[in-house]
């Protein structure tokens, strides 16, 4: 039997999603440990999108295989009892044997949060990027719109990226500001390594009025990472959702 799960986590104290050597705390390691207890056999999980150290998830999607028969409620609450406070199972669904959390995803969305205040916040420092300089939101949005659609995103690709192609199709980049919190929502058919954080770092140069919105089009056309802005810090980034044809999550 193959099961899909929705997972929420606070990435602050994890060394990313992916399992690493013994003693390194990862989200995958904690989830596999908890699921193995409930299933009463070793479990290996696969996720929709691996996240780096410090990155959070609102609804990561994973799958695993098991012979154990449990109710959905038992999987959820049994796992959560055995998980630390900073990772949580939200739901469980039985899926077809050919379902794969990563390869069957037709799109993914991320959210990035920026606190635009003169004074930093102790309470939200692990969950937002603090930007003390004033952001011109209209220029920020104008620059973001340039990136919507299908493009070669080589200029926004991390050097460790293993994707076969840099061509991705961004469906939308929605930017909203409420009081001092800027929220960026971005949905694409797929993402390159560090793509969202590199986009945010580039847009911030426009928002801070260091560059004009048209500069983003130049960066896109260069197809070279060295021309874009810096990689934005991980704590403001959230894996928001993965989309599938035959999975209602």
CATH code of 169's domain:
3.30.70.660
pLDDT (tens digit per residue) in 140-190: 999 999 999 999 999 999 988 888 999 999 999 999 999 999 999 999 999
Residues 53 and 147 in one domain: no
Residues 72 and 134 in one domain: no
CATH code of 46's domain:
3.30.70.580
The catalytically annotated residue of 52, 86, 98, 136 is 52
- Integer-rounded Cα radius of gyration of the chain: 19
Residues 197 and 181 in one domain: yes
Residues 94 and 139 in one domain: no
Active site residue 52: yes
Domain membership of residue 225 as a residue range: 107-242
Domain boundary (103, 128, 144) is at 103
Contacts of 226 (CB under 8 A, 6+ apart): none
The closest alpha carbon to 25, from 86, 113, 106, belongs to 86
pLDDT (tens digit per residue) in 39-95: 999 999 999 999 999 999 999 999 999 999 999 999 999 999 999 999 999 999 999
Residues 132 and 233 in one domain: yes
> Quick check: is 161 in a domain?
yes
Residues 26 and 114 in one domain: no
Count the domains in the chain.
2
Burial class (CB in 10 A: 0-12, 13-18, 19+), 66: middle
Q: 11 is written with which tokens?
A: 């990435």
The closest alpha carbon to 51, from 80, 76, 14, belongs to 14
Contacts of 105 (CB under 8 A, 6+ apart): 48, 49, 61, 190, 242, 243, 244
pLDDT (tens digit per residue) in 181-237: 999 999 999 999 999 999 999 999 999 999 999 999 999 999 999 999 999 999 999
Residues 187 and 230 in one domain: yes
């Amino acid at each position: 039997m193959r099961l899909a799960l929705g997972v929420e986590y606070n990435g602050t104290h994890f060394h990313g999603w992916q399992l690493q050597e013994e003693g390194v705390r990862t989200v995958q390691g904690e989830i596999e440990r908890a699921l193995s207890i409930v299933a009463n056999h070793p479990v290996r999980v696969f996720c929709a999108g691996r996240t780096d150290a410090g990155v959070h998830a609102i609804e990561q999607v994973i799958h695993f295989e098991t012979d154990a028969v449990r109710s959905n409620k038992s999987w959820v609450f049994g796992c959560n009892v055995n998980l630390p406070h900073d990772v949580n199972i939200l739901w469980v669904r039985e899926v077809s044997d050919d379902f794969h959390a990563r390869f069957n995803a037709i799109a993914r969305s991320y959210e990035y949060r920026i606190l635009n205040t003169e004074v930093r916040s102790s309470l939200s420092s692990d969950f937002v990027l603090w930007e003390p300089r004033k952001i011109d939101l209209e220029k920020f949005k104008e620059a973001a719109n340039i990136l919507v659609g299908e493009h070669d995103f080589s200029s926004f690709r991390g050097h460790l990226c293993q994707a076969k192609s840099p061509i991705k199709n961004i469906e939308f980049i929605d930017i909203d500001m409420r009081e001092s919190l800027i929220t960026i929502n971005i949905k694409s058919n797929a993402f390159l390594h560090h793509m969202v954080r590199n986009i945010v770092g580039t847009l911030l140069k426009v928002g801070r009025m260091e560059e004009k919105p048209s500069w983003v089009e130049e960066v896109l056309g260069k197809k070279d990472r060295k021309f874009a802005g810096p990689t934005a810090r991980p704590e403001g980034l959230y894996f928001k959702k993965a989309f599938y044809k035959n999975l209602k999550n």
